[in-house]
Amino acid sequence: MKTVTQRLQNVKKLQAKRLENEDYWDEINELLLKELKDILDIEPQNTSALINLGAVLSDSGENENALAVLKIALDLGSEDKNLYINLAIVMIDLGMHAEEYHEYLEISENFSENPLTFKAYFDPQSH
């Protein structure tokens, strides 16, 4: 049986495959959602899984759910740069005012990326 860390490493690899294989985006997205939810069933306060779930939800257009999940990771005290960047991306996608998300971008500069997490997709041309 794989450890949670190994499972998160596999999730990150699968996420990279999703970006490379847009024809299979939906199928890979479903696998990511299932695996992350399974990890959270085992470790409900795993901030890496929460951050990645928030990114996948954001990429799926479920920004309100993504924001709620990311705020849980924030409340748990995560100091992962990707958390703060993902919060900003979700807030931009929700059409929030710049002042509301700039703070998260500034805070993100104080932290490093956790190697087990990833950023939500962001297309600056769409905003």
Query: What is the percent of the chain with per-residue pLDDT over 70, rounded to a whole number?
Result: 96
Range of the domain at 47: 4-113
| 24-79 per-position pLDDT tens digit | 889 999 999 999 999 999 999 999 999 999 999 999 999 999 999 999 999 999 99
Residue 127 lies in a domain: no
What's the Cα-to-Cα distance from 107 to each of 56, 71, 83, 99, 101, rounded to whole Å? 22, 15, 10, 13, 10
Q: How many CA atoms lie within 13 A of 45 on its CB side?
A: 4
Q: What is the CATH number of the domain that holds 71?
A: 1.25.40.10
Residue 119 lies in a domain: no
d(CA 51, CA 47): 6
Q: How many domains does the chain have?
A: 1
59 CB contacts (<8 Å, ≥6 apart)? 29, 120, 121
**What are the residues facing 112 on neighbouring strands?**
80
Residue 122 lies in a domain: no
